[in-house]
Amino acid sequence: MKKLFLILIPLCMILTGCKQAVVEDNPFFVEWDTPFGAPPFGEIQDDHFLPAYMEAIRQHKEEIDAIINNTEAPDFENTIVAYDNAGALMSKVGLVFGGLRSAETNPRLQEIARETTPMLSAHYNEIRMNQDLFARIQAVYENRESFGLNLEQMRLVEKMYRDFERGGAALPEEKREALKQLNERMSMVSLQLGENLLAENNGFKLILEDEADLVGLPPDVISSAAEEARKADLEGKWVFTLAKPSWTPFLQFSERRDLREKIYTAYFMRGDNDNEHDNKALFAELMQLRQEATRLMGYNNYAEFFLEEQMAQKPENVYDFLYQVWEPALARAKSERDDMQAIIDREGRDYKLESWDWWYYAEKIRAERYDLDEDEVKPYFTLDNVRRGNFLLANKLFGLTFVEQPEVPVYHPEVEAFEVLDRDGSHLGVLYIDPHPRPGKRSGAWCSTYRSGSYDNGEKIAPIVPIVMNFTRPVGDLPAMLSWDETTTYFHEFGHALHNFFADGQYRRTSRSVPRDFVELPSQILENWAGEPTLLKEYALHYKTGEPIPDELIEKLSNSEHFNQGFLNTEYLAAAILDMDWHTAEHGDEIDVTAFEDATLERIGLIDEIVPRYRTPNFGHIFGTGYAAGYYVYRWAGVLDADAFYAFKESGDLFNQELAEKFRNYILANNAIYEGMDAYVRFRGAEPTIEPFLRQSGLME
């Protein structure tokens, strides 16, 4: 392999202009001799990626050619399993590169992404539309009943055939070539949209020099801003950024209305500033490209194409569901707005509530109506406490234990690594926890894999799973203390991690194959346990005294459960409907992004005081295909998780072992066999109803 590699490197340098290609000792070309086979992050250099990708492409092509050139008749093993196993090096390189580009990127990694994205798009186009390969897969598909396949194998064949069919393999040659070009351009546009958004996130700083500008802000928020200033070599000043732990408390507590307007406007105008990072023209192009591609495939629009494989099945069902929640949510939001305006009037202030005022007056209502001060609650929800709460829950439900492993290599000093042990003490996987914002990390929170769980010749390959967040940092001698929103987000992402650990399919394609509108069920259901008194008493301990959170604070948290739910549901639903409108509309040659967005918000009657959770130019969920025409899934899965958690509640035991085992089996582990509503009904015994969700959201009495 090293001789071949030495030949490839000069070619790489000629074709791509890579500046410092690392010729020797590329860690991707050897088996990783690390604890649990974790990526050796300390050895991986940025310039290892390009040659590793080129070798991965070469190997993958060789593996595909071996399938095509097999002289034996196509069958399950020599075609379907062989294809499922192909591309191991590609996966090894891609998972590490993708993980680092999301959580710890830098200009060189972004440069490599721009070089490799068209290369990889072309490579996968050639595979997906290869007629000889498709012919073999189609032959197995058409004769699948004759191979004596079990249920899991049958689903693998059917999924794989559908992948190729939906990838364009069944199209005539002229359309296949057109689709290849569209795919390659879409991949570059999506990449640039994401890079622009990261630049916009990092490009704004609210720098305060006068202590009087800090009026209303809690001491911990001020200390965090001072620490941010020190990191930016602005000692003696205070810096607020567009990272959520920074801008959210500023909006909640700052008495400087003009500054609230400044930071919030910067947030919702990301990607819409007519500068070098403006996303409007790129997004318009993306919509035109997606429309053209789906028309080639024979669909009316992208939403129709995407939803065909989801639980919702078609756009009409999504709209019906969203509007069913939209009407009570909007009514509640209007009531919340009127309550806030009443406070403004009562205080003798001569202005109308605006979007940058909402958080500030919502906090006043929280204090007045629920007697709840977040600063009183946060000392119980330190970062370590919340992590312990997640570990406790996993132990009570599934018998898991987590052992810190400082010897496991990590990609940043803040990242912690834990071995995950199953109920019987066997190794289940490795969990990385990456909690805090950095300039190289994109916004939000997510769970991914550095190695996906699978099997190799019957031997289980355990997953390596990071959960990545952007939570409040510790300041000085104080620990990181999380807001309630951050606390539930932690439980959410941990739920995704459990899904990865438990997935137990034999084949890579189907091991964790669930519809997009099902995948949020394992994450969102864990949020329900976060606020349950039984668990709170065990993990929410005061960082100074070690005393558990008192009953009166738990009661206040419970009483405020429906606080601000009109706003939270409305801002989310507005974005979900906007996403659906973009992906169902007929787009002409000229798209005015701002006018389109405005028309959607006017049609649904969104009030001026609320901005959608994401506006089009910063709607990162739909820049790629993961949540495009699929942002609705969080509320769709909300119906599932509310109904599923109610099963535990009505059993009288929040940690009911029989239900937990059924949940693990049908919802988390056997995705290769059961999917979507079939899996849910096997767990619950019936399809879910929407009432528990509406009650939980405060939208129904």
Amino acid at the residue 143 = N
The pLDDT score that the predictor gives to residue 14 is 36
The pLDDT score that the predictor gives to residue 24 is 61
Give Cα 38 distance to the centre of its chain. 22
**pLDDT grade, residue 11 (50/70/90)?**
very low
- Residue-wise pLDDT for 14-67, tens only, equals 344 444 444 468 999 999 999 999 999 999 999 999 999 999 999 999 999 999
In whole angstroms, give the CA distance from residue 326 to residue 337. Answer: 16
> Region 160-180: what's the mean pLDDT?
97
List the beta bridge partners of residue 454: 461
The pLDDT score that the predictor gives to residue 136 is 98
- Residue-wise pLDDT for 342-355, tens only, equals 999 999 999 999 99
Quick check: 215 and 188 in contact, CB under 8 A?
no
| Residue 697 pLDDT > 90 | no
Three-class SS state of 456: strand
> Region 146-170: what's the mean pLDDT?
97
Catalytic amino acids?
A: 493
Q: Where do the domains of the chain lie, and which CATH numbers do they carry? A: 26-128+130-170 (1.20.1050.40), 204-268 (no CATH), 280-372+566-631 (1.10.1370.10), 378-562+634-696 (1.10.1370.40)
- Residue-wise pLDDT for 218-260, tens only, equals 999 999 999 999 999 999 999 999 999 999 999 999 999 999 9
The pLDDT score that the predictor gives to residue 487 is 97
Q: Spell out a b/e string for 220-241, using b for 16 or more CB atoms within 10 Å of the CB, else e.
A: bbbbbbbbbbeeeebeebbbbb
Three-class SS state of 119: helix
Quick check: 206 and 263 in contact, CB under 8 A?
yes
> Region 578-604: what's the mean pLDDT?
97
List the beta bridge partners of residue 630: none
Q: How far is CA 342 from CA 258, 336, 348, in A?
A: 20, 10, 10
- Residue-wise pLDDT for 650-675, tens only, equals 999 999 999 999 999 999 999 999 98
> Region 590-606: what's the mean pLDDT?
98
What percent of the chain has a predicted confidence (pLDDT) above 90? Answer: 93
Give Cα 544 distance to the centre of its chain. 34
Quick check: 539 and 392 in contact, CB under 8 A?
yes
Quick check: 631 and 622 in contact, CB under 8 A?
yes
Average pLDDT, the chain: 94
| Residue 556 pLDDT > 80 | yes
In whole angstroms, give the CA distance from residue 286 to residue 289. Answer: 5
In whole angstroms, give the CA distance from residue 214 to residue 212. Answer: 5
Amino acid at the residue 300 = N
> Region 133-157: what's the mean pLDDT?
97
- What's the number of CA atoms in the CB half-sphere (13 Å) around residue 423? 11
The closest alpha carbon to 107, from 411, 439, 410, belongs to 439
Quick check: 506 and 152 in contact, CB under 8 A?
yes
> Region 532-559: what's the mean pLDDT?
96
* Phi, psi of 91, deg, nearest 5: -65, -45
In whole angstroms, give the CA distance from residue 361 to residue 606. Answer: 19
The pLDDT score that the predictor gives to residue 696 is 87
Q: How far is CA 417 from CA 399, 414, 431, in A?
A: 19, 10, 6
Question: How many residues are recorded in the chain?
Answer: 701
The closest alpha carbon to 167, from 318, 312, 316, 309, belongs to 309
What percent of the chain has a predicted confidence (pLDDT) above 70? Answer: 96
In sequence order, what DSSP letters do the residues of 447-467 get, joined into one string?
A: E--SB--EEETTEEE--EEEE
| Residue 2 pLDDT > 70 | no
**pLDDT grade, residue 458 (50/70/90)?**
confident
The closest alpha carbon to 127, from 114, 112, 137, 142, belongs to 137
In whole angstroms, give the CA distance from residue 157 to residue 505. Answer: 14
**pLDDT grade, residue 375 (50/70/90)?**
confident
**pLDDT grade, residue 5 (50/70/90)?**
very low
- Residue-wise pLDDT for 407-453, tens only, equals 999 999 999 999 999 999 999 999 999 999 999 999 999 999 999 99
Q: How far is CA 298 from CA 171, 179, 181, 318, in A?
A: 10, 12, 17, 21
> Region 539-568: what's the mean pLDDT?
95
> Region 476-505: what's the mean pLDDT?
96
